[in-house]
């Protein structure tokens, strides 16, 4: 594997890793990133970067204004952690009970601060402006939308987003033109029947039996209604109903998720869910309440920016720059990419010696290969240079 870590990044390796570990030890959940945001703001200010705090509640924006006119390029990191108790035995283990950086957002913040440090030293050669976006609450509530509402994309010509990725080998950079991550919709279902004696079903409407039929029917949406060349998922993830073995349950609650790569497809699926629910109601005499909430839209990469990324990634990781198949996960970077051309990419970070996917994201012993921070930062530097912002 050819790896060309930029020398300016290699020179600050320990600083980048120290920042990552500091943030890892002090994780904060969405919209509570006060310490993290203060750390980011302090660091940016020390680099002579113009800082705006409390953007999108707890987000931070840093603007590095160049000497010459030119485009505004935004680079985005997320700062939030997850409600997970860390179980791994590492020297920089979380000090906050029940909260953990289990997705790598600590690394994203460290990467972006490293890139800001290097670029701040090249201010006199900079054309245009670089905007460093540190957003809150990616894992829940879509912190990106709060940042956008507070104007973080004003004047921005293009935006890039990063994600460390343990499902890819260290030394790989993956992305694709078009949809790269799915649109997510969440589903709440309440089936209301008529309870009664378990031995005398006459006169009852068994909500458990109705739910069983509903789940089966929902699972025909992807297999029977969708174009087989489209990708979609309908998952019923929870089901709760009944208290006694000999009582017919009067109600059942279920929750689920719908994933697709376009609003059109997710709209078709949710329409079909409603139709099926009405049909099952009629067939069994039950009432089915549906609460379908739109989550993050699909993350769609601009094809031109994707080309730029592949060029930049190629300089750092050679043939480790890969076009990947899209993932069914969701990302609120999607909101930025709806407003301005954007490109989101994955930085292979599978821990040393372990096959990709062995240490999954959102697990309580999550960790990643910290050398991936240098890879990610180097790719961002190359990106900025390709966009001719430095000369
Ligand atoms: Zn995550
Ligand atoms: Zn994440």
What is the residue extent of each domain of the chain?
7-180+298-386, 183-294
| Residues 291-315 as b or e (16 or more Cβ within 10 Å = b) | ebeebbbbbbbbeebbebbbebbbb
166 CA → ligand 1 middle, Å: 12
pLDDT at 390 (0 to 100): 66
Instruction: Give the confidence band of 391 by pLDDT, cuts at 50, 70, 90.
Output: low
Which residue is catalytic, options 78, 138, 185, 367? 138
pLDDT band at residue 80 using 50, 70 and 90 as cut-offs = very high
> Is 255 designated active site?
no
9-39 pLDDT, tens digit each = 999 999 999 999 999 999 999 999 999 999 9
Considering the segment(s) 183-294 as one domain, its CATH architecture is: 2-Layer Sandwich (3.30)
Residue 357 near residue 4, CB atoms below 8 Å: no
80 is catalytic: yes
Q: What percent of the chain has pLDDT over 70?
A: 99
The ligand whose atoms approach the alpha carbon of 135 most closely is: 2
Exposed / middle / buried, residue 115 (Cβ in 10 Å: 0-12, 13-18, 19+): buried
pLDDT-based confidence at residue 124 (cuts at 50, 70, 90)? confident
238-277 pLDDT, tens digit each: 999 999 999 999 999 999 999 999 989 999 999 999 999 9
Which residue in the list 28, 78, 80, 382 is annotated as catalytic? 80
Ligand nearest to the CA of 333: 2
Q: What is the mean pLDDT of the chain?
A: 96
Are 160 and 380 in contact, with CB atoms under 8 Å apart?
A: yes
Residue 2's pLDDT is 81
CA distances from 104 to 100, 109, 196, 226 (A): 10, 9, 50, 34
What is this structure's pTM? 0.92
CA of 212 to the centre of ligand 1 (A): 31
Give residue 344 CA to ligand 1 midpoint distance, Å: 14
Identify the pLDDT of residue 353.
Answer: 86
What is the average pLDDT across 224-229? 95
Phi, psi torsion values for 88, nearest 5 degrees: -65, 155
- How many whole angstroms separate alpha carbon 347 and alpha carbon 103? 13
Has residue 388 got a pLDDT over 80? no
Rounded to an integer, the average pLDDT of 374-380 is 98
Q: Crossing angle, helix 34-46 and helix 105-120, to 10 degrees? A: 10
Q: How many CB atoms lie within 10 A of CB 264?
A: 11
Q: Which of the four pLDDT bands, split at 50, 70 and 90, describes residue 123?
A: confident
Mean pLDDT, residues 138-163:
97
Among 16, 37, 15, 42, CA closest to 26: 37
Ligand approaching nearest to the C-alpha of 82:
1
CA 159 – ligand 2 centroid, Å: 17
Token pair 């505004």: residue: 72
Residue 220, SS3?
helix
Assigned superfamily of 7-180+298-386? Zn peptidases (3.40.630.10)
Task: Report CA(108)–ligand 2 centroid distance (Å).
Answer: 9
User: What's the whole-number mean pLDDT along residues 116-141?
Assistant: 95
DSSP state of 221: I
Which ligand ends up closest to the CA of 361? Answer: 1
Q: Do domains 7-180+298-386 and 183-294 have the same CATH topology?
A: no
CB 176 within 8 A of CB 324: yes
């Amino acid at each position: 594997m050819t790896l060309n870590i930029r020398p300016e990044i290699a020179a600050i390796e320990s600083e980048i890793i120290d920042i990552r570990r500091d943030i890892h030890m002090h994780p904060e959940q969405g919209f509570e990133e006060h310490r993290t945001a203060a750390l980011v703001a302090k660091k940016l200010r020390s680099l002579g970067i113009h800082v705006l705090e409390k953007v999108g509640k707890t987000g931070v924006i840093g603007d590095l204004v160049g000497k010459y006119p030119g485009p505004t390029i935004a680079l985005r990191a997320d700062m939030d952690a997850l409600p997970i108790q860390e179980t791994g035995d590492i020297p920089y283990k979380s000090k906050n009970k029940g909260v953990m950086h289990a997705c790598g957002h600590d690394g994203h913040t460290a990467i972006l601060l490293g890139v800001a440090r290097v670029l701040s030293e090249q201010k006199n050669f900079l054309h245009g402006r670089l905007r460093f976006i540190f957003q809150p609450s990616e894992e829940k509530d879509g912190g990106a939308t709060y940042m956008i509402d507070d104007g973080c994309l004003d004047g921005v010509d293009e935006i890039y987003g990063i994600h460390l990725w343990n499902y890819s080998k260290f030394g790989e950079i993956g992305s694709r033109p078009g949809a790269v991550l799915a649109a997510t919709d969440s589903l709440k279902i309440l089936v209301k029947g008529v309870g009664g004696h378990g031995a005398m079903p006459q006169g009852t409407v068994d909500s458990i039996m109705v739910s069983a039929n509903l789940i089966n029917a929902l699972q025909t949406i992807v297999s029977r209604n969708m174009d087989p060349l489209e990708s979609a998922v309908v998952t019923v993830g929870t089901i709760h109903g009944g208290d006694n073995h000999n009582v017919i349950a009067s109600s059942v609650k279920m929750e689920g998720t719908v994933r697709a790569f376009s609003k059109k497809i997710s709209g078709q699926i949710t329409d079909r869910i409603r139709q099926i629910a009405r049909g099952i109601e009629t067939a069994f005499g039950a009432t089915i309440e549906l609460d379908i909430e739109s989550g993050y839209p699909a993350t769609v990469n601009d094809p031109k920016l994707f080309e730029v990324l592949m060029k930049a990634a190629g300089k750092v990781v050679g043939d480790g720059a890969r076009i990947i198949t899209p993932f069914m996960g969701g990302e609120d970077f999607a909101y930025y990419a709806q407003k301005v051309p954007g490109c989101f990419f994955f930085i292979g970070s599978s821990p040393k010696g372990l096959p990709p996917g062995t240490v999954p994201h959102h697990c309580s012993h999550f960790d990643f290969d910290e050398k991936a921070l240098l890879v990610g930062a180097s790719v961002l530097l190359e990106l900025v240079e390709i966009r001719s912002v430095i000369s």
